Amino acid sequence: MIITYLIIGFTCLISYRAFQDPALSEGLSHSPYGEVHEGQYYRLVTGALVHGSWEHLIINMWVLYQFGGIVEYVFKDRYGVMMGGMIYLVLYFTASIMADMGTLLEHKDNPRFRSIGASGVTSALVFIYVLFDPWQMFIFPPVPAIIFAVLYILWSSWASKNRNDHIDHLAHLYGGLYGILFMLVAYPGIHTIFLSKLLSPGFF
């Protein structure tokens, strides 16, 4: 879990500094207008390093700790420590980019739109976990992982169109779906594992 620990530590450091310096937070945030019209593509990655509050940071880092370590282990177990670690890093940073694609397209001409936080990436990690253990009960909410995933997709899709609560629901949706697509490419046979677990007679 060393890579997960390093990402958590670095994210906490940058977020803490951004709490003290709002200009830093603004400069690192996901800004579709800045990315498209001003070539500030780095924001697609740095937006996941800053958070809006301690609560926001702690929740995302807790989810990263819980699920990131598992996904890191899965890649290292299959591909070895070096290659598995590299694949995990590629997943993390590309998930940050792909999670922002929805709002990038929707708000590319809106200079006022900003988004921060690692929740798009953590959504990808949660959905990858679901592929390996769909019937595992989550502590909160207390439902099987696969049920949570389906409800999460439906909620994020609905909320992105119907709520104005300053939460980037599209990032959650795109991040989760990207996690699934990444695994289909990076972990051949994951669909067989998922279907086997999903249809396991032991559940019924």
Residue-level pLDDT at 140: 65
141-170 burial, b for 16+ CB within 10 Å, e for fewer?
eeebbbebbeebbeebeebbeeeeeebbbb
- 204 pLDDT band, cuts 50/70/90, is very low
CB count within 10 Å of CB 51 equals 26
What does the alpha-carbon distance between residue 168 and residue 100 come to, in Å, rounded to a whole number?
9
Phi then psi for residue 115, to 5 deg, are: -145, 140
The amino acid that residue 25 corresponds to is: S
User: What pLDDT is recorded for position 202?
Assistant: 52
Position 203 confidence tier, pLDDT thresholds 50, 70, 90: very low
> Taking 90 as the threshold, does the pLDDT of residue 84 lie above it?
yes
Greater pLDDT, 162 or 32: 32
Residue 33 or 1, more confident: 33
Beta-carbon contacts of residue 90 (< 8 Å; ≥ 6 apart): none
SS3 1: coil
- What class is the 2-203 domain? mainly alpha
pLDDT score for 173: 87
| H/E element, 146 | helix 145-162
Q: How many CA atoms lie within 13 A of 93 on its CB side?
A: 12
Which is nearest to 171 in space by CA: 75, 82, 56? Answer: 56
Please give the pLDDT value at position 46: 95
> Quick check: 158 and 83 in contact, CB under 8 A?
no
Q: What is the pTM of this model?
A: 0.88
Contact 103, 113 (CB under 8 A): yes
Q: Of the candidates 98, 118, 109, 120, which has an alpha carbon nearest to the alpha carbon of residue 18?
A: 118
Backbone angles phi, psi at 69, to 5 degrees: -60, -40
pLDDT for residue 167: 62
Task: State the Cα–Cα distance between residues 24 and 19, nearest whole angstrom.
Answer: 9
> Across residues 44-65, what is the average pLDDT?
91
